[in-house]
Amino acid sequence: MKNPIFTIQKHSASTLHYDFRLQIGNILKSWVIPKGPSVNPKDKRLAILTEDHKLTFADFEGEIPDGEYGAGKIIVWDRGSYQNITTQNGKKISIQEAFSNGEITFFLQGEKLKGNFSLILMKKQNEPKNWLLIKHNDQYADNTFDPITELPNSVISNKSIQEI
Ligand code: MN
């Protein structure tokens, strides 16, 4: 079976943010990451669970008109496939189970982001939507490189968000 996809859309709405989306079944589970992902394992990036999106939205670039949900410009900042590698008590579990448990570990094979990451629900906060995105300390971890500032453009069109 083909690996599921992920996409990260840079979205210039009322505030600039990054929409991180993982294919789970036939939808895209979606998190808003205000600062965008980091490849430094010391960073914990807030990732706020938001509405599911259709799979067909994964490659969307363009401008959503004023007055519509998500109004503003969007570019595909990164995309690729991922592998769910979440375990519980030493056993592999499904991505659906991992999501329900509030802890998902996955290997990203993107154009910009690679390697192992976890999304972890902040249960103590009593806020059911706040997760953290954390890079694991593997061969792709790098505390000297910031992909957000160094690789700002679209992986589809190579355009900046202003140029879309
Ligand atoms: Mn958005």
Q: What is the DSSP annotation of 59-107? A: T--EEEPTTSTT-EEEEEEEEEEEEE--EETTEE--HHHHHHHTEEEEE
- 65 CA → ligand 1 middle, Å: 13
CA–centroid distance, 125 to ligand 1, in Å, is: 23
CA-nearest of 28, 29, 27, 31 to 11 is: 31
Q: Measured between alpha carbons, how far is 121 from 133 in angstroms, rounded to an integer? A: 9
Strands 62-64 and 72-84 come out as antiparallel
Measured in angstroms, how far is the CA atom of residue 59 from the centroid of ligand 1?
14
Tell me what percent of the residues of the chain surpass a pLDDT of 90: 92
Instruction: Identify the band that residue 123 occupies on the pLDDT scale cut at 50, 70 and 90.
Output: confident
With cut-offs at 50, 70 and 90, classify the pLDDT of residue 70.
confident
From residue 86, how far is each of 20, 25, 94, 124 by CA, in Å? 18, 16, 8, 21
**pLDDT computed for residue 125 by the predictor:** 65
81-103: average pLDDT: 97
Please give the distance, rounded to the nearest whole angstrom, from the Cα atom of residue 73 to the centre of ligand 1. 9
Residue 118 has pLDDT above 70, yes or no: yes
Mean pLDDT of the chain, nearest integer: 95
Q: What is the pLDDT of residues 8-51, one digit of tens each?
A: 999 999 899 999 999 999 999 999 999 999 999 999 999 999 99
- DSSP single-letter state for residue 154: -
The 3-state DSSP class for residue 10 equals strand
With 90 as the cut, is the pLDDT of residue 128 above it?
no
The burial of 60, by beta-carbon neighbours within 10 Å (0-12 exposed, 13-18 middle, 19 or more buried), is given as: middle
Percentage of residues in the chain with pLDDT exceeding 70?
98
Cα 88 to ligand 1 centroid, rounded to whole Å: 31
Please list all protein residues whose beta carbon sits less than 5 angstroms from ligand 1, which is an ion.
11, 19
- Rounded distance from Cα 32 to ligand 1 centre (Å): 6
- The pTM score is 0.96
Measured in Å, residue 12 CA sits from the centre of ligand 1 at 8
Cα distance between residue 126 and residue 120, in whole Å: 14
Average the pLDDT over 87-113 and give the result: 97
